[in-house]
A and B are shown apart, each in its own frame.
Chain A
Amino acid sequence: MSGADHALRRVSAVRGVRGAMLVSAPDGLVISESSMEDVDGRAIAALAASLAGRLRRAAASAGLGRPTVIQLRGETGTLLAVPAGDELLVVAVGDRETNLGLARLELLEAARGIA
């Protein structure tokens, strides 16, 4: 098992997380994924990368520097994305019960290991 796969498994093991994946940020394509339940991995990759790209431009215009953690909360779940260098994103999708604090830490750890 590669380092990336191991890191994604750790993220997926967090309570409430339905799956995690490594995404090519410029393309919005899946590189590697771990136990995505009932979710279209291609859609997550494309939409997370697109959102991250827009946020990168908005943050730059606000003088905030580069995004390090992105958290989109919906009524029934959350999308988390952490850039790993310029080209990669580590992404997780969780339900309403997700331990977001732990998921965030695991994503940051995964990004550090992958970048």
Chain B
Amino acid sequence: MRVLESWVSGPLSRFLDESAARLVLLMTSSGQVVAQHGFTRSVDVMSAAALGAGIMASTGELAHLMGSPRFGALVHQGTEQGLMLSGFETPRGRWIGLVAFGPESSVGIVQLFFQQFTDEIAAAAPPEEPRGPVLAENFEHELNASLRALFGR
């Protein structure tokens, strides 16, 4: 597990212990990675973060077009592995969690403990520091900075 901010590590460790998730990627809605567990290559994190943020943005827009509230979570259950992509509000803005899990866990267990995790994150988050707007030209720079911190490269 690697985290950009230490206050995330406690809730994330508990989530990993309880859910037995194989991979976890936490990112802001702009795709900036906050924490990761289980990824061994930075290129995978970069792709997953970009795709995850993109999927959440596009499904959110789809929900808006259909006059529905924003989707809470998207779940894909494969034969060997399941994926859950879920957005949640934090004192630091909207974050997205991408979780991959195997047969040693289940959608129900992952959702149950992800809810607990998001509650803990909301409670543990220190007051937000003032930030500038997230501009498109900042996106890649922020993502690369996150990856350097998360992989020590």
Contacts and interface: CB of A to CB of B under 8 A. Distances in A.
Interface of A: 23-24, 26-29, 42-43, 45-47, 49-50, 53
A27 B77 contact: yes
B107 A43 contact: no
Contacts of A53: 106
A50 B111 contact: no
A44 to B, nearest CB: 10
Interface string B94-133: 0000000000011111011000000000000000000000
Contacts of A42: 108, 111-112
Nearest to A54: B104
A47 B77 contact: no
A29 B112 contact: no
Contacts of B112: 28, 42-43, 46-47
A85 B138 CA distance: 54
A47 B112 CA distance: 9
Interface residues of B, number: 8
Given A23-B108, A26-B106, A50-B109, 11 more contacts: A27-B77, A28-B108, A28-B112, A29-B107, A42-B112, A43-B112, A46-B109, A47-B109, A47-B112, A49-B108, A50-B106
- 7 pairs of A and B residues whose beta carbons are closest in the complex: A28-B108, A46-B108, A28-B106, A46-B112, A27-B107, A46-B109, A29-B108
Contacts of A45: 108
19 contacts: A24-B108, A27-B108, A28-B107, A28-B109, A28-B112, A29-B107, A29-B108, A42-B111, A42-B112, A43-B112, A45-B108, A46-B106, A46-B108, A46-B109, A46-B111, A47-B109, A47-B112, A50-B109, A53-B106
A68 to B, nearest CB: 21
Nearest to A24: B108
A9 B44 CA distance: 49
B17 to A, nearest CB: 14
Contacts of B108: 23-24, 27-29, 42, 45-46, 49-50
Contacts of A50: 105-106, 108-109
Contacts of B111: 42, 46
A47 B108 CA distance: 8
A50 to B, nearest CB: 5
Contacts of B105: 50
A113 B88 CA distance: 40
